[in-house]
């Protein structure tokens, strides 16, 4: 069983991809009845660590706002996973679909994030 689940997605219309959202929605299947679940829910989920990796063509201050909000609400606050961090890679392409990630520092950031996520364990 995995200790960490990494959710990775391109940004599509200011949110995670529909395929990743469908995957997250299926987590309901692993919920168990909880006698005293947090937030007044009737279910509890296995305790896992999670991280979010995303790419986007845009790189505005608000580019990832909706996606991060969904991640924090659904996975961290509701399901109860422990957030280990995010790599939000903006400016990785253009609206014509041409990738530019190799012209950014984001690949290095993602690599370093992976190296340190459990470095102190």
Q: Where are the domains of the chain?
A: 4-116
pLDDT tens, N- to C-terminus, the chain (121 residues): 788 999 999 999 999 999 999 999 998 888 887 777 666 666 778 889 999 999 998 899 999 999 999 999 999 988 889 999 999 998 888 777 777 887 888 889 999 999 999 987 7
d(CA 36, CA 50): 23
4-116 placed in CATH 3.40.50.360: yes
Under a CB-based contact definition with an 8 Å cutoff, are residues 113 and 119 in contact? no
């Amino acid at each position: 069983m995995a200790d960490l689940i990494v959710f990775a997605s391109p940004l599509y219309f200011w949110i995670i991809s529909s395929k990743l959202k469908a995957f997250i929605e299926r987590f309901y299947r692993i919920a168990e009845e909880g006698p005293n679940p947090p937030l007044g829910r009737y279910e509890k989920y296995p305790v896992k660590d999670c991280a979010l990796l995303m790419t986007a063509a845009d790189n505005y201050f608000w580019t990832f706002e909706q996606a991060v909000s969904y991640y924090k609400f659904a996975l961290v606050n509701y399901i109860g996973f422990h957030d280990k961090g995010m790599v939000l890679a903006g400016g990785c392409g253009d609206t014509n679909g041409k990738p530019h990630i190799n012209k950014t520092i984001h690949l290095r950031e993602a690599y370093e994030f992976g190296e340190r996520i459990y470095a102190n364990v």
